[in-house]
Structure 1
Amino acid sequence: MTLRTDSVIFDCPQNVHDPPGHILKMSAKRYRRHSADGTGLTLLFAHCVGAHKEQWEPTIARIFERCAPSTVSEAWAVDWQNHGDSAVLNRELLSTSPSRVYGVSAIEWGEAVAAFIRSPHLRGKRIVPIGHSAGAGTLVLTMKDLPVCQLVYPALILVEPTIIFKEDFYREIEERASTMDFVVTATLNRRERWKSREEAYSWMAKRVPWDVWDPRVLHMPTEHNLESTPDGGVITKADRRQEALCYVDTLPHFAAAEELRRISSHVPVHFIWGKESVGTLVPENVKEAFETGIAASVRTVEGGHLIVQEKPDAVADAICDILDTIVLPRSKL
């Protein structure tokens, strides 16, 4: 299915630590059928660390194939302020502002997405947030500080969320720290330049984690996350250091866990896990706590933590099964 797309550049809320007038921007993309009556749900997608909004496109395409226009009218995907197209828009501020030495927290991304939801682009629509890994916690945090009477999402879908309670994180601190050290080191040493997009694709296709990705998703980084260099080559849009900083920022994961405790009795929270991801980034006891005390439903699909990249159709089918259960009045955002 061919979808209509259009892109938006959104001015994020001013961060108090940035110089006056220095405002980060967030790139967003909308997906729609060529004919739709606008009565269905609006889906809002947030990616994981190291990804970008277009990696959701195979999943989004499958959802539109399966779901009727009365169920889904449109979808939006957003780039973290230091990822994808947003990283290009914000490059100067990210590299020159002293306040950006610590990057962009997922908490700040959540504030930007919340402002975007209140903007004319999404105001008044029935929004279902769908987040993967750190993007899941980000979307949970869009509800931070809202009274329960204003929690208007008809559902919240979390795909392999890395949300964790603070006490659980520190209970196994050595294992958690070891995992973060490994990921940060791998990120800082990862290749970021190639002679061409074709060379980049061939290089990724032979290496972890890209070698098990769905071919449609594997094309997305080379099509959407590389930019040309003066010498005729290509380089990744996002700065490796900015990405690495996102991995060590644990506060958003703690804050999202506490927020889930607060809102789960008011907003149905649905979890989608990868079968092969057991205990890798989220301890099994934490998953069980979410499933028994918070979840409205739990679904499992084949694949590891990066199931959006590995099994986009299976993730889409799980999302569609959840969406088929939603019938609620229009929100008042």
Structure 2
Amino acid sequence: MPLSVEKYSITTQTYGLPLICPMKKYTRPPSTQATVTGSQDPGIILLLGHGAGFFKETWEPTIEDLFALDDKRPGGPLIREAWGLDCQNHGEACILNEDILSRNPGILTIWDYADAFSTLYKSGLLGYVDPKRHQVVLCGHSAGAVGVTLSTSYFNPPSRVPYSKLILVDPPIWSKEKDGQESDVYKMVKEMTPVRRDIWKSSDDAKAWLKSRIPWGAWDERVFDVYVKYGLRSLPTAFYPDKVSGTTLTTHRLAENVAFTGKIFSYDALNRLNQICAYVPVHLIYGGNNDMFEREVQDSLINPQEGRTFASVMRLEDVGHLVVQEAPTKLAAAIFDVLNQTDLRSTVSKL
């Protein structure tokens, strides 16, 4: 299904320095019968956060499949619109903010991304949000799951969090007791990210190089195409001013590496979950293949004694940590299942 796309941006000043967060609002094309056109119409408003090294457009195949499922729903569609937000040092945002980021490489943390979600909610861009008619649901993958969780910190007390649900997809959040229990894959990615190749002669060379290697070669074709379309840019850049020609990554590799240096923020998210699970339904979706994080580490997140009781826990078979990239259709079905849930009972299921 083609998507109707509108572009917006907001500015955050989490640490006193203005950073632009570009966003895209996705709706059904005007010709689609299921289109919801009015900003006051009831429905779910889905806000999506991406993982480290990715960007808002990597959600597009999942959004397409979500709308396709929703259009077949008996009784009419649930979802009014979906929004993808770039972390301020990723994707298009990395280009818009490159002068600041290249001069201050450590200026941004996941709190900036969290700020973007709460700022969007308060901005008026979503239209008037009536809790009885609209549900604002936040969904984040990997580092994006940390971001959407921390965004609730801008609304206090916890009982005043305005989001209807949180959906955390393979979140890098676990009990402090599991600190240091890193998988071999995690250690390898952590070591390779800040030094991996990020310059090629041309976009075609970059595409061929990526396609022949893991993880890119294992991705859904639609996601790979989106990654190549939006994830590569021409040289020179503010990060590589001396490179007069060639192609590099839109998201600088050091920005991607921030995810491996911000463990403290994962624990901030852990503490926030202790506070909000009693007030906001939080759903977990994991990849069934424990490549990046071991099952024991993931399971440590669930702890009713500390307040972490989840509305549902789902594990998707034959997919790993990169759920958005590897299996957007399967992930769309899982998210759609969560959006259709009305009870708060904890459940464990497989798709």
TM-score tier, shorter chain, comes to 0.7 to 0.9
Q: Does 1:32 find its partner at 2:27?
A: yes
- State the distance in 1 between where 2:146 and 2:293 align: 14
User: CA offset at residue 225 of structure 1?
Assistant: 1.3
Which residue of structure 2 lines up, in the alignment, with residue 299 of structure 1?
314
Which residue of structure 1 lines up, in the alignment, with residue 269 of structure 2?
256
- State the distance in 2 between where 1:263 and 1:226 align: 38
Range 261-270 or range 64-73, more displaced? 64-73
- State the distance in 2 between where 1:78 and 1:193 align: 26
Which residue of structure 2 lines up, in the alignment, with residue 287 of structure 1?
299
User: CA offset at residue 6 of structure 1?
Assistant: 1.2
- Distance 1:250-1:178 versus aligned 2 partners, 3 A rule: farther
**RMSD over aligned Cα atoms:** 2.2
Which residue of structure 1 lines up, in the alignment, with residue 326 of structure 2?
310
- State the distance in 1 between where 2:55 and 2:231 align: 7
| Alpha-carbon contact 1:104-1:246 (below 8 Å) kept | no
- Alignment-mate amino acid for residue 300 of structure 1: R
| Alpha-carbon contact 2:174-2:300 (below 8 Å) kept | no
Structure 2 unaligned spans of 5+: 237-243, 344-351
Q: Does 1:215 find its partner at 2:217?
A: no
| Alpha-carbon contact 2:186-2:293 (below 8 Å) kept | no
Q: Does 1:107 find its partner at 2:111?
A: yes
- State the distance in 1 between where 2:9 and 2:42 align: 25
- Alignment-mate amino acid for residue 150 of structure 1: R
The match for 1:159 among 152, 163, 169 is 169
- State the distance in 2 between where 1:135 and 1:4 align: 23
Range 192-201 or range 209-218, more displaced? 192-201
Q: Does 1:9 find its partner at 2:9?
A: yes
Q: Does 1:198 find its partner at 2:194?
A: no
TM-score, structure 2 as length reference = 0.83
TM-score, structure 1 as length reference = 0.87
- Alignment-mate amino acid for residue 294 of structure 1: T
- Alignment-mate amino acid for residue 284 of structure 2: F
| Alpha-carbon contact 1:133-1:162 (below 8 Å) kept | yes
Which residue of structure 2 lines up, in the alignment, with residue 144 of structure 1?
153
Range 267-276 or range 112-121, more displaced? 112-121
Which residue of structure 2 lines up, in the alignment, with residue 45 of structure 1?
48
Which residue of structure 1 lines up, in the alignment, with residue 335 of structure 2?
319
- State the distance in 1 between where 2:213 and 2:316 align: 23
- State the distance in 2 between where 1:305 and 1:294 align: 22
Q: Does 1:189 find its partner at 2:195?
A: yes
State the SS of the aligned residue for 1:67. Answer: helix
- Alignment-mate amino acid for residue 216 of structure 1: R
- State the distance in 2 between where 1:194 and 1:105 align: 28
User: CA offset at residue 7 of structure 1?
Assistant: 1.2
Give CA-to-partner distance per residue, 1:291-316, whole Å, 9 cap, x none: 76421111111300001100000000
- State the distance in 2 between where 1:284 and 1:167 align: 11
Give CA-to-partner distance per residue, 1:217-245, whole Å, 9 cap, x none: 11112101111236553211122122213
The match for 1:74 among 81, 103, 120 is 81
Structure number having the greater helix percentage: 1
- State the distance in 2 between where 1:142 and 1:256 align: 9
Q: How many residues align?
A: 314
State the SS of the aligned residue for 1:161. Answer: coil
| Alpha-carbon contact 2:6-2:26 (below 8 Å) kept | yes
State the SS of the aligned residue for 1:276. Answer: coil
- State the distance in 1 between where 2:19 and 2:185 align: 30
Identity %: 32
- State the distance in 1 between where 2:65 and 2:298 align: 30
Give CA-to-partner distance per residue, 1:95-151, whole Å, 9 cap, x none: 12xxx3424211221122211211111252521001001100110111115213312
- Distance 1:285-1:195 versus aligned 2 partners, 3 A rule: closer
- State the distance in 2 between where 1:9 and 1:162 align: 27
Which residue of structure 1 lines up, in the alignment, with residue 346 of structure 2?
none
User: CA offset at residue 46 of structure 1?
Assistant: 0.3
